[in-house]
Amino acid sequence: MDLVLKKLSPNSIKEQRTPLDLFDSKGRLLLAKGSLITSNVLAKLKRQEVYKMETRNEKRALIKASKTIKEFSKDVYVKLVGCLWRIYHEAKLLQPQHIEKMLTLVQVIMEEIRTKDTFLDLEGNRINLERYKQHDFGTYMHVLNVALLSAIIGLQLGYNENKLKNLILGALLHDLGKLQVPKEILNKPGILTEEERDVIKQHPLLGEEMLKDARLRSSVLATIKEHHERWNGRGYPFGLKGQEIYQDAQIVAVADVYEALTADRPYRKGLPPYQALEMVIGGSGIDFNPLIVKAFQESLILYPEGSLVTLNTGEIGVVAAIYR
């Protein structure tokens, strides 16, 4: 079954719980079915084109979805995860030579993501790496996914090449300190004790300590230290709030939470991308900078042309085109 995105009339969108999923022109979810459309949300929706997803009507004229959307190479992804695994395992304290290797990975990422219209198939990449079960690649897939998501946010915000390079490097290193956290705590299937949570909360500072001899820019270190700070001041380790938090750390915070929500954990299954996005949007102005959430929402491609999706009826369909 082929699916298309059909443009909705602004007058058809009202203050209510939306009876269907709402998308933008590139198939990115704006609001999930059942979400409340308040007066403020309605005003925002009416300032842009809004679409619904439906089965293709062969008698209608179609305009194909953007061909500029490019999927991040799965082969490149596998190689990057392997490189990260080797770099992280070479030294407990990273030296300048390790950072040089990291910068090589940053360059590969920047060459692969040249525009914000890049589709990141996180779940497909996770499945692809299940064949390497002899290695624990979970941490390295997470940091790479966070780096890729951060990169598309940075591009959406207009980052130049140098700023983007520092953002990606900080994202690749953001969870380095977790190597110092006992695996039985990191992978615990049950609820953590208060003492165990306190141990995990040390990982941003542990990561900074591991990089003390790496001659990193202060901006990259700030990203590592502050990626668990929150917009409302309820994060850690410093309780920073608002613009006190370094902007790259704000970006990595959004990418980090979204990636974690979509990934399987010992105690739960990962959420579908649209549900994870809804939760991130729900944290806008509370946990996250609203401008960065907006940039993330605008840059994340959930349903590119040709992708398989499950309808509310349980049927499987293929996104084929966009009605205009």
Residues 291, 148: Cα–Cα separation, whole Å = 19
Whether the per-residue pLDDT at 59 is higher than 50: the answer is no
Residues in the chain: 324
Q: Is the pLDDT of residue 317 over 60?
A: no
Query: Does the domain formed by 70-299 have CATH 3.30.70.100?
Result: no
Both tokens of 35, joined, read 């979400």
- 93-144 confidence digits (pLDDT tens): 778 888 999 999 999 999 888 765 666 666 666 655 555 444 567 788 899 9
Give me the phi and psi of 278, to 5 degrees please: -60, -40
> Which tens digit of pLDDT belongs to each residue from 153-178?
999 999 999 999 999 999 999 999 99
Residue 323 pLDDT grade (very low, low, confident, very high; cuts 50, 70, 90)? very low
- Lowest average pLDDT, out of 73-87, 169-183, 258-272, goes to 258-272
The predicted structure's pLDDT at residue 119: 64
Residues of the chain with CATH 1.10.3210.10: 70-299
What confidence score (pLDDT) does residue 316 get? 47
Backbone phi and psi for residue 274, each to the nearest 5 degrees, phi listed first:
-65, -35
Contacts of residue 297, defined as CB under 8 A and 6 or more positions apart, other chains included, come to 28, 30, 277, 280, 281
- Whether 87 contacts 101, CB under 8 Å: yes
Q: What is residue 113's predicted lDDT score, i.e. its pLDDT?
A: 85
Q: Please count the other Cβ atoms lying within 10 Å of the Cβ belonging to residue 259.
A: 23
- Supply the pTM of this predicted model: 0.74
User: Which is higher by pLDDT, 212 or 303?
Assistant: 212
Say which residue, 11 or 107, is predicted with more confidence: 107
Range from 20-24, 105-109, 223-227, 308-312 that averages highest in pLDDT: 223-227
Above 80 in pLDDT, residue 145? yes
- The one-letter code for the residue type at 236 is Y
Task: Determine the Cα–Cα distance for residues 209 and 218; give it in Å rounded to an integer.
Answer: 13
What percentage of residues in the chain have a pLDDT greater than 90?
Answer: 42
pLDDT band for position 315 (cuts 50, 70, 90): low
Question: Which among 145, 165, 13 has a CA at the least distance from the CA of 74?
Answer: 145
**pLDDT above 80 for 63:** no
Averaged pLDDT score across all residues of the chain:
82
Residue type, 68: T
